[in-house]
Amino acid sequence: MQVVLRYYGRLTDVTKKKEERIELSEGVDIVFLEGLLCENYVGFKEEVYAIFLNKKKVEDINTVLSNQDEISFMPPFSGG
């Protein structure tokens, strides 16, 4: 399956991108995805962020992902 990952704030520096599409096996959850990002991007595991799945804040990191899900990684907000 394919999912869209979106990065904001400092995470765009860590990943060097704002968005990417990646292929994942069926049945993977957010914990797995986070682990993958920590492996792929130096410094990712040190970052503080909230995760949003299809624009809703994730409360359970064992949530299983589905095809075409949009997962946003957002550091503490700094608007206003």
Partner 1 sequence: MNCIEFVEGPISLEYISRLTETYSNQAGAMLSFYGRVREEHVRNKKIVAIEFETDAEMSQIALNDMLQDYDEKQLIRLSVLHSLGRVERGEICFVIILETAHRKEAFNILPDFISDFKARIPIFGKELFDDDTYVWKVNK
Buried-state track 20-49, b at ≥16 Cβ within 10 A, e below 16: eeeebeeeeebebbbeebeeebeebeebeb
Q: Is the dihedral of CA 33, 47, 41, 50 positive or negative?
A: positive
Question: Which residue's CB is nearer to partner 1, number 23 or number 55?
Answer: 55
CB of 67 to partner 1, least distance (A): 21
Residues in contact with partner 1 by CB under 8 A are 6, 8-10, 13, 52, 55, 72, 74-80
33 vs 47, which CB is nearer to partner 1? 47
Q: How far is the CB of 28 from partner 1 (least distance, A)?
A: 23
Percent helix / strand / coil, the chain, rounded to 5: 25, 30, 45
CB of 57 to partner 1, least distance (A): 9
Residue (24 or 74) nearer to partner 1, CB: 74
